[in-house]
Structures are given as structure tokens and as C-alpha cells.
Amino acid sequence: MGLGIPNCRIGQIIARAPSLFSYRVENSVKPTVRYLIEEVGINEHDLGKVKVVQLSPQILIQRIDISWNTCYMFLSKEFGAPRDSVVKMVKKHPQFLHYSIDERLLPRLNFLRSIGMHNSNILKVLTSLTQVSSLVPA
């Protein structure tokens, strides 16, 4: 609630990630929120009210530092993605941080390459429509 998530959405979030009840707010959830705001660069409004947590409540309970760094390093190295582009991707499709690079992202990105897309165009597509990483066949 402190993130500004509407009361009517709290139940849906708990239903999607019931393990939230097993985590201590002070020891787990708040440090993750702080990391997302201070280190990743997602502002508090986007985190709560603009649906990052609403779209992917698991983001509050995963090792976000590891998944963020892995994802950011991969996209930076593979596509030259600037940090702000990766932040945009996460804000639009936070599930992106849950994807395995080897099993999910890389096969889909290689598919886009196989149909003639260049890395710069793939980066544009990912930044504007990150969900393509879910839609494109592997």
C-alpha cells in the first residue's frame, strides 16, 4: 500500500504471489523496493501506481540484484543497450527480469536475427515493445 498500489489490486497481487506472506517486509520487501528505486532507477510512482509490481509481484521477492545485473549486462553486451533503455523495458514488462537468458531470451533474439533484424532494430523493438520477448517463437 505504501507504494500507492490501489487497495482493489492488493488481493490480485497476493493471489499471483502468495509467497509474499512468507517474507518480512523490513528484511526482504523494503530492501528490494529500495534497490529497484535507488539502483535500477525505477521511480516509486512507476513501481506501484504504474503497474510494475501489479504486473509482476514476484519482483518483490526475487533476488532482484542478481536478475537485474544479469539482464542489464547481457543486453548491454549483446546489443549495446543503454541503462535507460533497459529500465524502460523493465517498467513496461517487469516479467522480463524473470526470464532465463539462455532458455528464453537468447533463442527469441536469435530468431529475430534469423529473419534479418539487426541488433539496433532488435533493441528498438525491445525498448518499445518488451513483450515481444514473450511472443516471438523460440
Residues whose CB is less than 8 angstroms from the CB of residue 91 and which lie 6 or more positions away in sequence, other chains included: 42, 46, 50, 52
The pTM score is 0.79
Distance (Å, rounded) from C-alpha 66 to C-alpha 75? 14
Please choose, from the candidates 87, 90, 83, the residue with its C-alpha nearest in 3D space to the C-alpha of residue 131: 90
Q: So what's the pLDDT on residue 73?
A: 95
The count of residues in the chain is 138
Q: So what's the pLDDT on residue 81?
A: 92
Q: So what's the pLDDT on residue 137?
A: 63
Distance (Å, rounded) from C-alpha 97 to C-alpha 64? 8
Calculate helix-pair angle for 83-92, 64-79, nearest 10 degrees. Answer: 120
Please choose, from the candidates 53, 39, 55, 61, the residue with its C-alpha nearest in 3D space to the C-alpha of residue 2: 53
Distance (Å, rounded) from C-alpha 120 to C-alpha 81? 9
Q: So what's the pLDDT on residue 68?
A: 92
**Cβ(62)–Cβ(68) under 8 Å?**
no
Q: So what's the pLDDT on residue 76?
A: 94
Kindly list the averaged pLDDT for each block of 10 residues, start to end, along the chain of length 138: 83 86 86 90 82 85 88 92 92 87 90 92 88 67
**Cβ(39)–Cβ(68) under 8 Å?**
yes
Q: So what's the pLDDT on residue 24?
A: 85
